[in-house]
Structure formats: structure tokens, C-alpha cells
């Protein structure tokens, strides 16, 4: 599976539409301010999203889309939308985004949480129709929006 690796990182400058994996493109993760640099997403996040997509598609016996509702946030945009000052959506010191918010049609936040945890996600923020996941795996974390 074509997840983000060192080679892929070098391709950031190629443009906002390059493929991060079989089913996800960089532009889906780009900051919604529309003005900052393309998102570089931690490879683990992409692996989890592919695993979640595969699982729900098998359960439903049909190809099921994951909608990314928030990927990268530059500091300015994060502040504008009231994000946490230490948000994992804001690129870390290596420039990598460590969190993503997503939804899947007809699934509740707690459905999404269950699927996410089943593929190894440990940090989950649960809203009514979407979830936040991030790369922290030292212990289970759960909070609600």
C-alpha cells in the first residue's frame, strides 16, 4: 500500500492532488484556509483510514467513502476555528499532521469510534456524526465534543 514514506514527502511540492494511498488524496487533508502549504500526513493515519474503509466496505458489501472533515490546520486557521492550542491537526516540528477528523454516511460518532478502535486507534474524540483520531497510542484516550 502506498502510504506516506520518505520518498512521498519529497513529492509534496508536486501539488495538492497527489495520492497518499489507494483511496486518499492529499487535497482531502489540506488546510481549509486554502492558502497554506499542502498537508503532509503521518503514514499511520493513512493506514488506519484505509483499514477502516476496508472494514466498513466489507460489512456493507459495498465500497464506502470516508469523508475527511478536518486534516491539516495551519496555526492561523486552527486559531480561527477555535482549535486547541496544541492541536495535533497543526503540523509538528517535522511538518507532519498527526490527527484527522472524519465521517462516514449513516454512521454515528460512537459507531465510528468502535470501528476506529478495532483497527488499533487509541485516541478518539467523539462527536455525534464524526470522530477525531490521532496518533497517540500510549494509552486509550476518549473525549466528547
Numbers of helices and strands, H then E, in the chain: 4, 5
User: Which of 91/109 has CB closer to Zn ion?
Assistant: 91
Site for Zn ion (CB under 5 A): how many residues?
5
Identify the bridge partners of residue 67 per DSSP, sorted by sequence position. Answer: 103
Q: Are 40 and 20 in contact (CB under 8 A)?
A: no
Q: Tell whether residue 36 is a contact of Zn ion (CB under 5 A).
A: yes
Q: Tell whether residue 115 is a contact of Zn ion (CB under 5 A).
A: no
Provide the grid cell at 43: 503514514
User: Which of 71/109 has CB closer to Zn ion?
Assistant: 71
Q: Are 70 and 125 in contact (CB under 8 A)?
A: no
Q: Tell whether residue 2 is a contact of Zn ion (CB under 5 A).
A: no
User: Which of 24/29 has CB closer to Zn ion?
Assistant: 29
For binding to Zn ion (CB under 5 A), which residues are involved? 31, 33, 36, 74, 77
Amino acid at each position: 500500500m502506498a502510504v506516506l514514506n520518505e520518498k512521498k514527502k519529497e513529492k509534496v511540492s508536486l501539488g495538492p492532488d497527489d495520492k497518499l494511498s489507494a483511496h486518499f488524496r492529499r487535497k482531502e487533508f489540506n488546510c481549509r484556509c486554502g492558502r497554506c502549504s499542502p498537508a503532509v500526513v503521518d503514514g499511520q493515519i493513512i493506514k488506519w483510514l484505509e483499514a477502516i474503509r476496508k472494514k466498513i466496505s466489507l460489512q456493507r458489501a459495498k465500497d464506502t467513502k470516508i469523508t475527511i472533515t478536518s486534516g491539516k490546520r495551519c496555526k492561523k486557521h486552527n486559531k480561527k476555528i477555535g482549535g486547541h492550542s496544541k492541536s495535533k491537526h497543526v503540523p509538528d516540528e517535522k511538518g507532519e499532521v498527526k490527527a484527522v477528523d472524519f465521517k462516514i454516511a449513516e454512521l454515528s460518532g460512537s459507531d465510528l469510534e468502535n470501528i476506529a478502535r478495532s483497527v488499533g486507534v487509541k485516541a478518539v474524540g467523539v462527536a455525534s456524526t464524526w470522530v477525531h483520531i490521532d496518533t497517540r497510542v500510549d494509552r486509550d484516550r476518549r473525549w466528547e465534543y
